[in-house]
Amino acid sequence: MKIAIAVAALAGLIVPMSTAQAASAAPTDTPPAATAAPATTPTGPVLVARWDFNAGAVGGRVTDTSGHGGPMLSARGADQGAVQYLDGPTGKYAAFPGLCAPDAASCARALLEAPNSANLNPGVRPFRWAASVHVLKTEVRGSANIMQKGTSATGSQWKLQIGQKMGKAQCVVIGVGSPAVYIAHSSAPVTDGVWHKVACLRSGTSLSISVDGVQQGSTTIPATLNITNTMPLRIGGPNFNKSSDMYHGQLDDVYAELG
């Protein structure tokens, strides 16, 4: 029915009228002139990047499935570390190398990286980043970086990580021109070996975190906090430094929404 009405409107058979116009219009046998349909713009968040891992990797690269031209992920490894794409109940997921012994001579590590993209630099606009995580507390040493764009040294940052001490998820932002770090913590740990969807949302003066669709924490941030940098997006760890905060669990359905 909606399609039929839309077609009729374009053909000039139906023209929307305000309540006042409808009340005062005199009957006429002459149909009104056709008018152009107004342009439509998005009224809510737009999915700008998504990696569901269902197709695995082709040539070491994971294709974006957002439908909005998001960047591809490239796999990187150190000490023969590699990301595996394993079958789960609803499709494939990404599995990262396990935690190494503290005194290990070498340690297999891996991460996924996407190049800098305008849609991953939200500036002051509303922005959501999220991932489904499956990890045990014994797999977390230090902080475990799930996804991160920018660092404290590059002027701005948005990040999702898991803290070791309590096993709680954390959303982190840093704005251009300020060293202040803002963190929203989940109220419960996510390191129980069960899949959890963790989402961060920056909107106006609020940075909030939700787990499995329920908001668990928030903090106030400046409305002018600007997140813009030229760094790549990294998933599973920030770098391959000796003390790097690598993630050693499994991930699925990693995505970002803008607006």
Residue 29 forms part of a structural domain: no
Residue 243 forms part of a structural domain: yes
Name the residue range of residue 64's domain.
46-258
Strands (E) in 140-221, as ranges, are 143-149, 157-163, 168-174, 181-189, 196-203, 206-211, 214-220
Residue 134 forms part of a structural domain: yes
Residue 23 forms part of a structural domain: no
Residue 91 forms part of a structural domain: yes
Residue 111 forms part of a structural domain: yes
pTM score: 0.82
Give the pLDDT of the chain (259 residues) as one tens digit per residue. 333 333 333 334 333 444 434 333 333 344 444 444 444 555 789 999 999 999 999 999 999 999 999 999 999 999 999 999 999 988 999 999 999 988 888 999 999 999 999 999 999 999 999 999 999 999 999 899 999 999 888 789 999 999 988 999 999 999 999 999 999 999 999 999 999 999 999 999 999 999 999 999 999 999 999 999 999 999 999 999 877 899 999 999 999 999 9
Residue 55 forms part of a structural domain: yes
What total of structural domains would you count in the chain?
A: 1
Residue 24 forms part of a structural domain: no
Task: Assign residue 75 the CATH number of its domain.
Answer: 2.60.120.200
User: Pick from 164, 162, 154, 151: which is nearest to 234 by CA?
Assistant: 151
Distance of CA 178 to the CA centre of its chain: 23
